Amino acid sequence: MTRPASERPKEVQELAGEGRLITLTVDKPAHGGTFVARHEGRVVFVRGACPGETVVAEVLPDSKANARFWRAETIDVIEAGPDRVPSAWPECGYEGLGGADYAHIRIEAQRRIKTEVLQELMTRARIGTYPIENIQIEPARDDHTGLGWRSRVRFAVDHGKVGMHGWRSHEIHAVGSNPLAHPAIQALGIDVWKAPSGVVAVDVVAPSGSAPAIIVRSENDLTLDDLNLPAACDNASIVLATRTSTTALRGDDSVREIVGDDVFTLYAGGFWQVHVDAPRLLTAAVGHALDAHEGERIWDLYGGAGLFSVLAARAVGGTGALVSVEGAERASADATENLAAYPQAKAVTADVRDFLAEANEGPDRVIMDPPRAGVGEKAMARLAELTRERMVYVSCEPSTLARDLRVAEHEGWAITDFQVFDLYPHTHHMECVVKLERAAR
């Protein structure tokens, strides 16, 4: 890994000439996949490093001389730390893809680092009702390598070239081995396809209960012949999604997902938990934390196609009521279908904030699984006021989770369980399931 300065590529030597190469001693992890180091007193967030290492890094061009902090990317490792391993996805290294910022770190160490980042975020948010040191990330079932877990992959396309975006860049790079993707996605060979003009992105889905699906996002109408996809895609459903329409060019535009005894049908390009084990793991964790009873009233906010709604509808039985609230029309329609066997359940298409603003009466229990932006302070305060007994917060972004939990604590709620799962191995992301109950007064 270490190269004498004279052997570095010419472009890198030029960076040194411009004063953009710095030597850093790497300290603790920062949120977002980088690590903290200091250069002449200034904080530098460096990617591609490990705690305890000494590295040579390129300061990114957008790091201005007078900025409070800089961003940098590791070029060479002068002294490697004990957690460094050959990258699981070499294309994510220096000047490469942005998708897997921890691929060069031992999987157990990745989990230790994520735990540290999460605990630090919760400490900084002054979370006070739960022992933060007890929060520990857990792997998904049988996930020893962190490879082959992604059942959904988005490829970017530029002038026919299929790839993925670089770190903090719009440039599209070749994907290479793509080892995080489910083998059924890797087998399709989309990364070497030359896309026709108009195609801007491709989503590839490996569902648990139906054939793979390819959603081609295009600025203009295209036929199956125009697409000229690799032969390996012959058994996949092909969906063309333009700004105005969605057309199944082959097969169906829906996929099936199987979770225990439940079968979910949803739009192929719609939201579904990405790790192959996530639906099982999260429904178990949410069901346990929710602990709903016959006859109760439950809201499943940001409900998607109804993954958590089904378990909640079953738990409250025929005398209870379940309302799933989802902003995307198609996902909400899918939830209606997936809940068809439960007359006590209803799927509402609405923005959660509008739904909360109009609600006169709160539920007994609520599940919320927002996108990365989180629930937001105002909506969280409203939920804390409306909900009678228990809230279960599912989050893929710990910084907004920390903010929202602080609001709940301020409104008189206590965190009574906090689980974290490593559902995005080799990336800095994680998934949290937090149980909140009204604090004893």
Ligand X SMILES: C[S@@+](CC[C@H](N)C(=O)[O-])C[C@H]1O[C@@H](n2cnc3c(N)ncnc32)[C@H](O)[C@@H]1O
Q: Which of 352, 383, 415, 420 binds ligand X (CB under 6 A)?
A: 352
Instruction: For residue 375, state whether it binds ligand X (rule: CB under 6 A).
Output: no
The 10 Å Cβ neighbour count of residue 201 is 16
CB nearer ligand X, residue 161 or residue 280: 280
Q: Are 26 and 52 in contact (CB under 8 A)?
A: yes
Q: Residue 4: is it exposed, middle or buried by C-beta count within 10 angstroms (0-12/13-18/19+)?
A: exposed
Name the phi and psi angles at 39, rounded to 5: -135, 115
H or E element that contains 215? strand 213-218
- CB contact at 8 A, 287 and 310: no
Characterize the bridge pairing of strands 152-158 and 161-165.
Answer: antiparallel
Within positions 16 to 35, which residues make up the interface with ligand X, using CB under 6 A? none
Contact between 101 and ligand X per CB under 6 A:
no
Contact present, 405 and 399 (Cβ < 8 Å): no
Nearest to 425 by CA among 141, 24, 123: 141
We find the least distance from the C-beta atom of residue 378 to ligand X, in angstroms, to be: 12
Catalytic one among 50, 92, 233, 396?
396
User: Does residue number 336 form part of the binding site for ligand X (CB under 6 A)?
Assistant: no
- Tell me the closest approach of the beta carbon of residue 308 to ligand X, in angstroms: 5
Among 93, 251, 303, 398, indicate the residue that binds ligand X (CB under 6 A): 303
Residue span binding ligand X (CB under 6 A) among the ranges 45-53, 69-77, 245-253, 319-327: 319-327
434 binds ligand X (CB under 6 A): no
Minimum distance of ligand X from residue 332's CB (angstroms)? 9
Site membership for ligand X, residue 317 (CB under 6 A) = no
Closest approach, Cβ 379 to ligand X, in A, equals 8
Binding range to ligand X, per CB under 6 A, among 102-110, 171-179, 249-257, 299-307: 299-307
Does the footprint of ligand X cover residue 269 (CB under 6 A)? no
Q: Does 287 sit near ligand X (CB under 6 A)?
A: no
Q: How far is the CB of 307 from ligand X (least distance, A)?
A: 4
**Among the listed residues 165, 228, 164, 173, the one whose alpha carbon sits nearest the alpha carbon of residue 196:** 228
Phi, psi of 342 (to 5 degrees): -120, 95
The residue written with tokens 């989503």 in the block is 203
Residue 273 in contact with ligand X, rule: CB under 6 A: yes
Which residue in the set 14, 18, 79, 351 belongs to the binding site for ligand X (CB under 6 A)?
351
Exposed, middle or buried by CB within 10 Å (0-12, 13-18, 19+), for 189?
middle
**Interface pick for ligand X out of 130, 308, 342, 393 (rule CB under 6 A):** 308
Has 326 been labeled as part of a binding site?
Answer: yes
**Of positions 101, 143, 191, 326, contacts ligand X by CB under 6 A:** 326
Dihedral sign of CA atoms 427, 259, 415, 373 in order: positive
- Considering only 78, 201, 284, 328, the residue that binds ligand X (CB under 6 A) is 328
In angstroms, give the least distance from the CB of 388 to ligand X. 21
396 is catalytic: yes
All residues at 6 or more sequence positions from 210 whose CB lies less than 8 Å from its CB, including other chains: 237, 252, 255, 256
Rounded CA-CA distance 215/38 in Å is 44
C-alpha dihedral, 84 to 90 to 94 to 97, nearest 10°: -120
When binding is defined by CB under 6 A, the residue of 5, 371, 378, 388 that contacts ligand X is 371
Query: CB atoms < 10 A from the CB of 268, how many?
Result: 27
Cβ-proximal residue to ligand X, closest one? 304
Give the residue ranges of the annotated binding site.
273, 302, 326, 369
Give the residue ranges of the annotated binding site for S-adenosyl-L-methionine.
273, 302, 326, 369
Binding site for ligand X (CB under 6 A): 271-273, 302-305, 307-308, 325-328, 331, 351-352, 369-371
Q: Which residues are catalytic?
A: 396
